[in-house]
């Protein structure tokens, strides 16, 4: 188990550097109190349970599973799958994970940074846009039922 | 992944022989299409995903997890926990798993046998009662919200 502390931002410039990995994921539970996610990332796969503690902090349990199991579990998931590229971008000694969504969420790009404390300071990269930490619309589990293309502009 | 084929019966006599293990379990998803169960059995723990394929057969994915993780995940579960003793009873070369429920399900005793084919023959032990295969009231995930003590007699 771990406690996950992260802040989430929109992206307002060209962030593309570093490597990217294709992600495909779905949810066995989309209940915010206990989401259960199946994710295939490149050639590995994970089952992840998260609880909603508060806007910045979540309890998280993650277990690697065989990709063949994950493929079959994705078929059991509730709703369409989320597909995206995850970019791993270093900036001033911190790792940013930038998700470039595909399919019904194309056009949405979200950057996350994982912190060790809620008030930990960090340098903002020049491509960073508005903060959306705690905005549930940007949860991947919400994007299943309310994809970005359905949002009022 | 495995396909689980099992038949389930009530118990109408004294079955107590062999060993028993205390089970404590809860559900991160009780959706019959994709149940996600956390179980502590004695000093080990598992996370299990099942899909409902038909009355006798289910897809099942099971992963062992640390007991300390399972304890924390049980606290995230939807609804009260199921507590029972599972007895492992050999009869005519087949293994019966007999669940003797506690708490709000006390009085309920259910025996299950796992088969390799839906039509596989087996000997019925003298203590076996009526068959309840496919009756969703007896699913542990249903007993969370509709425990045995709440059933009309």
- List the alpha helices (DSSP H) in A18-86: 67-74
Residue A1 has pLDDT above 60, yes or no: no
CA–centroid distance for B61 within its chain: 15
CA–centroid distance for B15 within its chain: 17
Count of domains observed in chain B: 1
* Nearest CB neighbour to B63, from listed A51, A65, A72: A65
Q: Which of B63, B64, B75, B81 would you mutate first to test chain A, the one with the most A CBs within 10 A? A: B63
Annotated catalytic, B27? Answer: yes
Please write the tens of the pLDDT for every residue from A8-19. 999 999 999 889
Helix (H, G, I), strand (E, B) or coil at A64: strand
Pairing of strands B2-11, A128-131: unpaired
For range B121-129, the mean pLDDT: 96
Tokens representing residue A54 in the block? 């508060």
Instruction: Indicate which CATH number applies to the domain containing B23.
Output: 2.40.320.10
- Kindly report the pTM of this predicted structure: 0.88
Please write the tens of the pLDDT for every residue from A52-97. 766 667 789 999 999 999 999 999 998 899 999 999 999 999 999 9
* Nearest CB neighbour to B29, from listed A36, A68, A72: A36
CA distance A124 to A13: 12
The parent domain of residue B21 ranges over 2-150
Q: Is there a contact between A78 and B33 if contact means CB atoms under 8 Å apart?
A: yes
Tell me what the pLDDT averaged over chain A comes to. 93
CA distance A28 to A43: 21
**ipTM value:** 0.86
Tokens representing residue B14 in the block? 């004294």
Please write the tens of the pLDDT for every residue from B6-43. 899 999 999 998 899 999 999 999 998 999 999 999 99
For range A106-117, the mean pLDDT: 95
Range of A1-5, B2-6, B54-58 with top mean pLDDT = B2-6
């Amino acid at each position: 188990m771990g406690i996950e502390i992260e802040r989430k931002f929109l992206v307002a410039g060209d962030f593309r550097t570093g490597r990217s990995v294709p992600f495909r994921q779905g949810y066995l539970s989309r209940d915010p109190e206990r989401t259960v996610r199946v994710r295939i990332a490149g050639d590995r796969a994970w089952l992840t349970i998260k609880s909603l503690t508060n806007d910045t902090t979540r309890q998280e349990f993650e277990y690697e599973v065989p990709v063949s199991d994950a493929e079959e579990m994705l078929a059991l998931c509730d709703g369409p799958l989320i597909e995206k590229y995850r970019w791993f971008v270093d900036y001033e000694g911190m790792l940013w994970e930038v998700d470039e969504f595909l399919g019904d969420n194309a056009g949405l790009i979200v950057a996350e940074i994982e912190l060790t404390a809620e008030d930990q300071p960090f340098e903002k990269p020049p491509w960073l846009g508005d903060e959306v930490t705690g905005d549930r619309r940007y949860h991947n589990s919400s994007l299943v039922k309310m994809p970005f293309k359905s949002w009022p502009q």
